[in-house]
Chain A
């Protein structure tokens, strides 16, 4: 006997339970990121898993983007609040540290939304140890506004841990860039 998402006390059929699990997943997937609110947590790749245990508890697993990301507690609270508001009474949020988050997990739709909002999406993240390179490296980050490849980095660090500051020499606009990690 469990209390279902619909608030009745009943013995759920496997089909009903699978339905609830899918619904819980959809709810959690739609929670926006606190710092990049045009992206959902699913777009960002920080929502690693949503499942339902036999007693009807929704277990959502999140992974932090950066160790010091101050939005992590906010994300946890938002996912729990959304699930409760959707009728799931028992909610558990787990933190997953391994494997560490990489910008490669940002979905294609997430990348599109970033560009639409004037933020350049990341390129492919480096794999394995990165050697120190001191010679100037030529890399192209196309301007998310005008598409020009004539851009330059102004600062590798920006308003949030995950972004760098760039500017476009063609349209003269500064823009943010989600740096690969």
Chain B
């Protein structure tokens, strides 16, 4: 192990299975955590909650990663990739928790790579195609505001593992929301073209708001953030027009399956591979 330079140490052989890239066969991110489920916690409900939150995060991370090499500026590319990485980390922890509580003992890979679109429980907003930068910013603003408010509540969850994952996530999501909100104001209050695109993006995400508020009631909190941002940006508050269907029940748009095909392609082509 070379102490002096991180890249030298990367090139050295690892006897202990440490790996740097994401793929299959990784060490459980909950390795060595006390995994007992406290009495009185409904394991079915806990597993369902963790799957939904993990699926939101995984699908969002994939969409954010799509900006890599094509963001407006290098700094934004780095930012979006960093936000995606935080969400991917949250997804890994949550999937690992699901495997411990749903009675199957499956690892994170089983959930991320070996389920089909019908089994995913993410909200549809997360899976919609990237669109332009304005759309990605508005979607990130809505999803991070919701997730932050929800995680603040989950930090008191009776399951200590979910509570700890949420408490950690709160700190990360605070940065995500701040990033999205600042860009929303800059674009909404920017040029005629950026303002027009932000208006369009708000109209595009509005039909998908409803799905976020079924499990827990943080609607007022999220609405307050959106009001604060749209007022500062000189944008109208979007009008909520619900769409039939619900990602939380596995009813997805046609966009999720192709996203998963790409995300899962290597793991499915080489299901036994580790790297």
The chain A residues found within 8 Å of chain B, CB to CB, are 32, 34-35, 37, 61, 64, 66-74, 76-78, 80-82, 92-102, 126, 129-130, 132-134, 154-159, 161, 165, 179, 181
Contacts and interface: CB of A to CB of B under 8 A. Distances in A.
B113 interface: no
Contact of A68 (B87, B152, B181): B87
A152 B29 CA distance: 36
Q: How large is the interface on B (under 10, 10 to 19, 20 to 34, 35 or more residues)?
A: 35 or more
B5 A37 contact: yes
A30 B92 CA distance: 29
B164 A81 contact: no
Considering the complex of A and B, which 6 residue pairs feature the smallest CB-CB distances, nearest first? A68-B89, A67-B89, A77-B18, A94-B32, A77-B16, A97-B164
Best-buried of B161, B171, B172, B174 by chain A (most CB within 10 Å): B171
Interface of B: 1, 3-6, 9, 14-22, 26-27, 29-33, 75, 78-79, 81-83, 85-90, 92-93, 152, 160-161, 163-165, 167-172, 174-175, 177-179, 181-182, 185, 225, 228-229, 232
Nearest to B82: A157
A168 B155 CA distance: 38
A130 B175 CA distance: 10
A123 B195 CA distance: 35
Contacts of B88: 68
A22 to B, nearest CB: 22
Contact of B171 (A73, A100, A133, A158): A100
Contacts of B185: 134
Contact of B32 (A92, A130, A158, A161): A92
A73 B26 contact: yes
B75 A95 contact: no
Contacts of B3: 32, 37
Contacts of B170: 129
Q: Which of B4, B26, B78, B88 has the most CB of A within 10 A?
A: B78
A110 to B, nearest CB: 15
A156 B79 CA distance: 7
B26 A156 contact: no
